[in-house]
A and B are shown apart, each in its own frame.
Chain A
Amino acid sequence: SYVLTQPPSVSVAPGKTARITCGGNNIENKGVHWYHQKPGQAPVVVMYYDNDRPSGIPERFSGSNSGNTATLTISRVEAGDEADYYCQVWDSSSDHVVFGAGTKLTVL
């Protein structure tokens, strides 16, 4: 089955840029979606189909997908960006939705 690999944690100082990666075999051939989840809350989509930003998500959030790695980039990080971030794809070969294990973003 398809596997998505995320780093367990990423730390960044306020005002700097955070990059959260999501690795998968030829992931560039799949649409990658990203969610953030704060404690006690439901997940919220922050990026879909690699680099489409839902309404209400700041322009500081951007996405890319190339080769075996998709990346969610958060510029000018704020304290409110601290959350768990998950990547997700649809694996048509198995008819399964796949989530990465999640990355905890810590704002120092």
Chain B
Amino acid sequence: QVQLVESGGGVVQPGRSLRLSCVTSGFTFSSYGMHWVRQAPGKGLEWVAVIWFDGRIQYYADSVKGRFTISRDNSKNTLYLQMNSLRAEDTAVYYCARDGITFGGVNYFDYWGQGTLVTLSS
């Protein structure tokens, strides 16, 4: 069965960096675009970034562009999110999610991980 397992969250000081990982299994990782979506405590869903199935294309939300980098290692079935210059407003549960259609742009999210919590605190 499809599984997405995030890790790397924790408590970090503003201005510091953190790298999240999402290890996947149960499907052909290299055939699917992948996303990061976050949810601040008590708030709604906020899309963060997407990376194409082959890693050629990435898009970012305006709130993280220039600070976050999405990447993937298709040989390890793993998605990453490098987060630099972290701010208090980046506090959230970060979910990785699979795009619902193979080899094709951005669609919907058919599988989600359980999320990893990132907390900014000085």
Contact = CB atoms under 8 A, between A and B. Distances in A.
Interface string A26-41: 0000010101010000
B112 A97 contact: no
Contacts of A98: 47
Interface of A: 1, 31, 33, 35, 37, 42-45, 48-49, 54, 84, 86, 88, 90, 95-102
A95 B115 CA distance: 24
A42 B46 contact: no
**B interface SS class:** strand
**A interface SS class:** strand
A45 B47 contact: no
Interface in B21-64: 35, 37, 44-47, 50, 59, 61-62
Chain B interface residue count: which class?
A: 20 to 34
Contact of A43 (B45, B62, B106): B45
A33 to B, nearest CB: 4
A86 B44 contact: yes
8 contacts: A31-B107, A35-B45, A42-B114, A48-B110, A88-B45, A97-B50, A98-B47, A99-B44
B80 interface: no
A26 to B, nearest CB: 18
A31 B101 CA distance: 13
A37 B61 CA distance: 22
B9 interface: no
Contacts of B44: 84, 86, 99-102
Nearest to B44: A102
Contacts of A48: 100, 107-108, 110
A35 B105 CA distance: 19
